[in-house]
Structure 1
Amino acid sequence: MNPIESYVDELEADLRGPARIKARMIREIRDGLADTLDARLEAGLPPEAAARDAVREFGTPAEVAPSCQRELTVAQTRHTAFALLVTVPVLLGCWRLAWTIGRDQGIPPSQTAQLLAAIAGTAAVMGCAALLITRRLSVPDGLPIVMAWTGTAASIAMPLTTIAVATALPLADNWPLLLIIAAGTLAAHSALANSAKTCRECAAQAW
């Protein structure tokens, strides 16, 4: 196999992070290697020697990967924080609507549901803080793993809150609303849980 393609494939396999940003990073590295290869070919080196020389100049994948992974980890941290800010407020609004309807029907809000919703809400606040922090050039080493577990906690609280809300309300009178909340919870849980999982993997490799 072409040394440049082998190099890029090995580096790509070692990296974790947002797919779009990772793809852009790999593309830029491949383009850089191609430019170096062209320069070596113009200098008169044979193709195989030129490719090996281009790869050697870039450094081994093990040498290049840490800086790439750190950048991807910061990006994934922001991705998870943004996922919290997008999903949690919508579900909080849905849960509040369900509690309002429940009170109108003489059913008080479940304390368990309120506690779980508070956990999700706190996670969203932490997500907002993480977005602000990651705008800095220097990101605290512990932030990615904190954000990863914050996202995980919120993703667990989401379905549990919805279950607590759904079991407290009469299904016959409220099934359209509960169906909408359940569908939204499933989508939000899936997106946030996957993002948090990737964030944990990134943090494990970068720090």
Structure 2
Amino acid sequence: MNAIETYVAELAAELRGPARVKARMIQEVRDGLTDTVAARTDAGLPPEEAVRDALREFGTPAEVAPSCQRELTVAQTRHTAFALLATVPVLLGCWHLAWSIGRDQGVPPSQTAQLLATIAGTSALVGCAALVITRRLSVPGRLPLLMGWTGTAASIAMPLTTIALATTLPLAENWALLLLIAAGTIAAHSALANSAKTCRECATQVE
């Protein structure tokens, strides 16, 4: 591995954030270093010296990482907010349908399920607010940590709500609907929990 690849590998190891955004950022750093080295060799410097000069000009990975991490943290905050808005409303619709069917079958909505669904719904509203805020602020204070824990709370509420529904609705009459909701819950929980975990990690990186 040459010096430039070693440099970008060390920088990548320092950073947390959305994989696609991080990969693009690392590629931009690699391209910038390569272009700088090419300019110096065109000016007559030996290749090894040109590489050393370019790396010295860019700064060490530890010096460069904080500014990169701030950008990645905002991106991850938005990613988690999008994950909330893409999953929670769909599950709320499914849960509402299950409650409507339950009422028709004489089964009242579970208060526990309603409370958990309210937590998930409130989380989606926080996600919506986060999207608006991150369009205006470059480093939005405690918002990434708040978004991380909000996403975690919603990801926990999702399976608990579905379990609460499954234990109240008659299984023999609603197994297909409950199976569909369970499959959607598993997929939503996985996507949101992973995004929220990364968001919390990003938040600790910029504190």
Which whole-Å deviations, capped at 9, do the CAs of 1:41-60 have from their partners, x for residues lacking one?
01211111111111000111
Measured in 2, the distance between the counterparts of 1:100 and 1:4 equals 60
Measured in 2, the distance between the counterparts of 1:23 and 1:138 equals 20
Q: Secondary structure at the match of 2:167?
A: helix
Aligned-pair CA distance for 1:206: 1.6
| TM-score w.r.t. length of structure 2 | 0.98
| TM-score w.r.t. length of structure 1 | 0.98
Identical amino acids, percent of aligned pairs: 81
Give the conservation status (yes or no) of the 8 Å contact 1:133–1:139: no
Report which stretch shifted further, 28-37 or 134-143: 134-143
Structure 1 residue ranges (4+ consecutive) displaced by more than 3 angstroms after TM superposition: none
1:114 equivalenced with 2:125 (yes/no):
no
Measured in 2, the distance between the counterparts of 1:126 and 1:48 equals 51
Aligned-pair CA distance for 1:138: 3.4
Measured in 1, the distance between the counterparts of 2:166 and 2:61 equals 51
1:80-159 mapped onto 2 (5 Å cutoff): 80-159=80-159
Aligned-pair CA distance for 1:137: 3.3
Give the conservation status (yes or no) of the 8 Å contact 2:80–2:148: yes
1:1-207 mapped onto 2 (5 Å cutoff): 1-207=1-207
Measured in 1, the distance between the counterparts of 2:73 and 2:96 equals 34
Counterpart of 2:58, as a letter, is F
Which whole-Å deviations, capped at 9, do the CAs of 1:15-56 have from their partners, x for residues lacking one?
110011001100111000001000110121111111111100
Measured in 2, the distance between the counterparts of 1:139 and 1:2 equals 34
Give the conservation status (yes or no) of the 8 Å contact 1:73–1:144: yes
Counterpart of 2:72, as a letter, is L
Measured in 2, the distance between the counterparts of 1:99 and 1:154 equals 19
Residue correspondences, number: 207
Counterpart of 1:201, as a letter, is E
CA RMSD of aligned residues (A): 0.7
Unaligned runs of 5+ in 1: none
Measured in 2, the distance between the counterparts of 1:182 and 1:137 equals 37
Measured in 1, the distance between the counterparts of 2:2 and 2:38 equals 14
Counterpart of 1:70, as a letter, is R
Counterpart of 1:28, as a letter, is E
Give the conservation status (yes or no) of the 8 Å contact 2:74–2:139: yes
Counterpart of 1:136, as a letter, is R
Aligned-pair CA distance for 1:188: 0.2
Aligned-pair CA distance for 1:2: 1.7
Measured in 1, the distance between the counterparts of 2:3 and 2:20 equals 24
